[in-house]
A and B are shown apart, each in its own frame.
Chain A
Amino acid sequence: MSLLAGLGFNTIVVMIGVAALGCAAGAAGTFAMLRRKALVSDAVAHGTLPGIAGAFLLAALLGRAPREAAWLMGGAAIAAILSLAAIEWLARRPRIGHDTATAAVLASGFGLGLALLSVVQTLSVGSQAGLEQLLFGSAAGMLPEEAWLMGGLAVLVLAVIGLVLKELSTVAFDPDFAATIGLPVARLDALVALLCASVVVAALPIAGFVLAVALVVIPPAAARFWSDRAGIVVVLAAAIGSASALTGAALSAILTDTPTGPAIVLVAALFFAVSMVFGRARGLLAGGVA
């Protein structure tokens, strides 16, 4: 806290928001990992690009200020939902696996986004600062209201996961058994996907659309090295996500010209590396990795 003391109220609020987001990301990502659907979040993150670029273009056409965060974030959120729906729809077609559907949506979303971005760059609409923030991430511009919003999202995600923890664990371990006892497997899967997508969209302004997914994927993978209990892995992943986001954002604030997204991801990767070696349950030193 002595480090934070000199930073001022707004900065501290932003740090809390970033930490809350990392916390939510780690918790939500744990079940995506256990269900072997971590890549879905990556597809959703890339899938937000056409939403962001499309919203920017639409705003420009309507003569609105395209930098408005709500405008771009709305586009990202809609695109995220559409990406999720596309993956689920494709995966249910015969002869298309879930991984193929995910990869196809990732690639086409990204492609469409790049195409729209090239259109955006031909426009001479004012500043594209808002756009750049969503592409590369920056915690610096975060408003206290946005930080509170993230705190709220984190509380919501943690509460939902805590309330259905035993159901999510049952489905993740053995979906067939879960179906035979009458658990709504598809709805619980959709719940996890929606939680992850919300976190990824919320993380866009901080980490950028390429790296936002790292907060969902890396902390659970790191946490898995420390415990053999799903509930504890969730808590550890939340803690590691929180610490990564907070440390990364602080580093990028202290070291000028360091973008927030990469800083957060590098800190998370460091947690992963340390966990892989020292993790008590499955780390290399524990002899847990076959």
Chain B
Amino acid sequence: MLAITPPATAAGLDDRLAVEGLSVAYRGVPALEDVTWTAPASGLTAIVGPNGAGKSTLLKAILGLVASTGRATIGGRPVAERREATAYVPQRASVDWDFPATALDVVLQGMVREAGWLRGYGRARRDRAMALLDRVGLADLAARQIGQMSGGQQQRVFLARGLARDARILFLDEPLAGVDAASERIILDVFDALDREGRLVVCVHHDLGTVAERFSDVLVLNRKVIAAGSVATAFTPEILARAYGVPLVARP
């Protein structure tokens, strides 16, 4: 079976990510209630909201990692049938970095499905994984055990693994949390490149002060959708006050 990498193209209006009436409860306690949201076709979208607002849970529910009611679709089809269109970059703290793997090994894991069962990754994929590490500034550290990298470097390895999926939609959970300035700049450069390629980046983001300059769209969440839309319309002090329950000033 030949795995063919689909070209990345901007999604038409009919191939959008859409969430309809999505609810999640942990042990009877609602984490998300009746979330309905249609993502932009492309660009950089931040999901913001207070702690416990269900931001990470929304990503996990869309990707089928937590049980939910409601629907998450891409182009009208369940996300589970459109996995090739998605790439997930989890929180760095969600895995054990002591695992016996090098940076290159981890990036290659992003190609495990396209390589297919019962085969190795092959030279071409190894070269591509090296190029992706280079793209996040880690070509020199390809052979390093992942536990011996800084937090920012680990985050970039995770991003490179996500890029290896060559997906149209990337879901990232707090990719800028606790990373050094150099890593942050590299990650944001990659975001801009993804934007120019017509892909959609959906990013759980904690730093309200930087939303306006870095993202084009926003989903403000506090268990329910508070607001969604362009940063100009949906990232206003009034909306944030409603989401956070206290008046906040969004720095320009």
Contacts and interface: CB of A to CB of B under 8 A. Distances in A.
Given A166-B120, A167-B117, A180 B63 contact: yes
Interface residues of A, number: 28
A170 B83 CA distance: 16
Contacts of A230: 99-101, 105
A34 B95 CA distance: 12
B151 to A, nearest CB: 16
A176 B94 contact: yes
A170 B63 contact: no
B109 A166 contact: yes
Contacts, number: 81
A9 interface: no
A233 B98 CA distance: 13
Interface size class of B (residues with CB under 8 A): 20 to 34
B27 A94 contact: yes
Contacts of A167: 112, 117
B52 interface: no
B161 A34 contact: no
A182 B114 CA distance: 11
Contact of A174 (B27, B94, B145): B94
A232 B100 CA distance: 9
A19 B99 CA distance: 27
Interface in A158-202: 163-164, 166-167, 169-170, 172-174, 176-183
A222 to B, nearest CB: 13
B136 interface: no
B78 to A, nearest CB: 12
B202 to A, nearest CB: 13
Contacts of B132: none
B113 A183 contact: yes
A173 B112 contact: no
A181 B100 contact: no
Contacts of B112: 166-167, 170, 178, 181, 183
12 contacts: A34-B100, A95-B27, A166-B121, A167-B112, A169-B101, A170-B112, A173-B101, A177-B109, A180-B65, A224-B100, A228-B100, A228-B102
